Amino acid sequence: MRSSRLLVIAGIVASWTGSAQGQVPSPGTEQLSPGKLPGTFAFSYTNAIQFTQEPAFPVTVVITNDPVVNDLKKALVTATVTDSNPFTISADLPPGGYWLSAQMAPGKDALYWGSGMINIFITPQGVATIHDPLHHPLTLAKKMTVLSPDWKGAEVTEKRPVLKWQPLPGADSYRIMWLVERPGQPYGPSGNGSTRDTQYQMPEDVQLGCRYEWSVWAERPGAPDTPFPEHALGYWSAAYFYTPGGKEAFLRHEPHRMTSRKGAAYFGVSPGQSLPQGILLMNVIAGSPAFAAGLEPEDILTSFNGKPLAGVTTNDFVAMVRRQAIGSVVKLDYLRNGVKETTQVTVAAMP
């Protein structure tokens, strides 16, 4: 299945409810004890798994330094959870940024999506900070069934296609989101709408030569009129269709890559969103050039080698990093808690 940029549009972020010394209010920070291995700290997380519909255990909880956690081989540590009672996952971790999430066990991943991702950041002094805007970070949402257009990339000729899906029990309404992509321009116009029906007609004529990525979300009764996934009983993400000329156009161009290839210029940050001041960082990977330069999650990068980052998209920022020579030094200005700071990042090759 294609990875979905619509998850970014929807604003999926991470959340935390535990600490190395026990449960604390979230968000929060905790001073960790030294780990058994030199240069590490003992991190432990306690929570319980929730499902939006009938439970489907077992579930695998994963800690990784890679935000793309669908490959369990990339996991730093895993824990198998077999029921709804609280579980604990522990690991000795070096300073840096990590992600924690819950996934369906192999063979059951057709039933539910994985949970939202919890961002963990450990300073060189062993202070762990957890970033958690969601109320139920380890809730697994039901996978919906898309009927038409074929979610795998059919070509549609209608000026205003009708999107259809199977109903989900308990849903009060359905939220639809879409993203228009052109070859080489993965972040085009986007939109969203809602309906109480199980189909939705695009409100404007589609553009020719494009690919439309779309998602449908089954919303809980009484959910606010905002397209955020914590209100969803279930969803289907990354369905897509082509308009006339689109499939041929995309075949002539290399697909856009959300992550750099091995050996590409690398900072080791996960840009969260573009703000009026610049680029907000979601995560800083352990052992990365950005971590060595002292950057932390929620820093706002304001300039890149003297070029202001105000109004620069996250996609453009990634492109700026990729254009740097391996071994070159980039001067970054950034804001931390409103205070301006400056650092230098030595560009490395993507490991």
The residues pairing with 329 across neighbouring beta strands, listed in sequence order, are 346
Q: 285 with 336, same domain? A: yes
Give backbone dihedrals phi and psi of 96, rounded to 5 degrees, phi first.
Answer: 140, -175
Closest CA to 320 of 278, 277, 276: 278
Q: 67 with 108, same domain? A: yes
Instruction: Please name the residues in contact with 88: beta carbons below 8 A apart, sequence gap of 6 or more.
Output: 18, 44, 45, 46, 79
Question: Which pLDDT does position 197 carry in this prediction?
Answer: 97
Instruction: Please name the residues in contact with 81: beta carbons below 8 A apart, sequence gap of 6 or more.
Output: 49, 57, 58, 59, 60, 61, 87, 102
Q: 132 with 11, same domain? A: yes
Q: 69 with 180, same domain? A: no
CA–CA separation, 101 and 297 (whole Å):
18
What's the pLDDT tens digit per position in 199-219?
A: 999 999 999 999 999 999 999
pLDDT at 348 over 50: yes
Q: Is residue 328 part of a domain?
A: yes
Contact by Cβ (8 Å): 297, 97: yes
Q: 94 with 33, same domain? A: yes
Task: State the total domains in the chain.
Answer: 3
pTM metric for this prediction:
0.81
Q: Is residue 257 part of a domain?
A: no
Contact by Cβ (8 Å): 173, 194: yes
pLDDT at 274 over 70: yes
Q: Is residue 78 part of a domain?
A: yes
Q: Is residue 154 part of a domain?
A: yes
User: Where is the domain boundary, 198, 226, 251?
Assistant: 251
Q: Is residue 80 part of a domain?
A: yes
Rounded to the nearest 10°, the torsion over CA 41, 42, 43, 49 is: 160
Q: Is residue 258 part of a domain?
A: no
CA–CA separation, 146 and 205 (whole Å):
21
CA–CA separation, 170 and 289 (whole Å):
47
User: Where is the domain boundary, 140, 168, 192?
Assistant: 140
Contact by Cβ (8 Å): 34, 40: yes
Question: Which pLDDT does position 20 carry in this prediction?
Answer: 31
Q: 18 with 130, same domain? A: yes
Closest CA to 292 of 331, 343, 351, 350: 343
Q: 91 with 154, same domain? A: no
Q: 195 with 247, same domain? A: yes
Q: Is residue 206 part of a domain?
A: yes
pLDDT at 259 over 80: no
User: Where is the domain boundary, 251, 274, 301?
Assistant: 251
Closest CA to 232 of 117, 131, 105, 140: 140
40: CATH = 2.60.40.10
Q: 117 with 170, same domain? A: no
pLDDT at 243 over 70: yes
pLDDT at 26 over 50: no
pLDDT at 290 over 50: yes
Q: Domain of 282?
A: 265-349
Question: Which pLDDT does position 122 carry in this prediction?
Answer: 96
Q: Is residue 259 part of a domain?
A: no
Q: 189 with 120, same domain? A: no
Better-predicted residue by pLDDT, 188 or 283: 283
